[in-house]
A and B are shown apart, each in its own frame.
Chain A
Amino acid sequence: MSSILEEIETKIAGLKTSTTKSNIGTVRETGDGVARIEGLSDVMLNEMIEFPGGVFGLALNLEETEVGAILLGDATKISEGDEAKTTGRLLSVPVGKGLLGRVVNTLGEPLDGKGEVKSETFYPLEKIAPGVIKRRSVSQPVQTGIMAIDAMIPIGRGQRELIIGDRATGKTTIGIDTIISQARLNKAGEDSKSKDYRPLYCIYVAIGQKNSNVARVLAVLEKEDAMRYSTIISAPASDSATNQYLAPFAGAAMGEWFMDNGMDALIIYDDLSKHAVAYRQVSLVLKRPSGREAYPGDVFYLHSRLLERAARVSDEYGGGSVTALPIIETQAGDVSAYIPTNVISITDGQIYLETDLFYQGVRPAISVGLSVSRVGSAAQIKAIKQVAGKVKLDLAQFRELAAFAQFGSDLDAATKARLDRGQRIVELFKQIQYNPIPVELQVAVMWAMQNGFIDPVPVERVKEFQNKLQDFLQTRKESLLASIRQKKQLDAELEANLKATLEEFSATKPVG
Chain B
Amino acid sequence: MQVKKEVRQIAREMLRASFTDGQLDRGRVASVVDSILAKKPRNYLKILEYYKRLLRLEAEKRHARIETATALEPQITSQISLNLARRYGTDLTTEFAINQALLGGMRIRVGSDVWDSSIRNRLERLQQQL
Contacts and interface: CB of A to CB of B under 8 A. Distances in A.
B112 A21 contact: no
A19 B114 contact: no
A287 B2 contact: yes
Contacts of A22: 113-114, 116
Contact of A24 (B53, B109, B121, B125): B109
B115 A40 contact: no
Interface residues of A, number: 25
A414 interface: no
A42 B116 contact: no
A24 B122 contact: no
Contacts of B125: 15, 20
B1 A36 contact: yes
B38 interface: no
A24 B112 contact: yes
B126 A11 contact: yes
Interface string A1-17: 00000001001100110
A20 B126 contact: no
B117 A19 contact: yes
A75 to B, nearest CB: 19
Contact of B114 (A18, A23, A65): A23
Given A22-B116, A41-B111, A15 B122 contact: yes
Nearest to A42: B112
Contacts of B101: none
Contacts of B115: 19-21
Interface in B30-87: 53-54, 57, 60
B111 A11 contact: no
B112 A39 contact: yes
Nearest to B108: A19
A19 B116 contact: yes
A85 B122 CA distance: 16
A293 interface: no
Nearest to B125: A15
**A16, A21, A40 — most chain B CB neighbours (10 Å):** A21
A262 interface: no
**A11, A19, A42 — most chain B CB neighbours (10 Å):** A19
A22 B108 CA distance: 11
A412 interface: no
A150 interface: no
B28 interface: no
Nearest to A21: B115
Interface of B: 1-2, 8, 12, 53-54, 57, 60, 109, 111-117, 121-122, 125-126, 129-130
Those 9 A-B pairs whose CB atoms lie nearest each other, nearest first: A39-B112, A19-B117, A41-B112, A15-B122, A287-B2, A22-B114, A24-B114, A20-B116, A23-B112
Interface of A: 8, 11-12, 15-16, 18-25, 29, 36, 38-42, 64-66, 85, 287
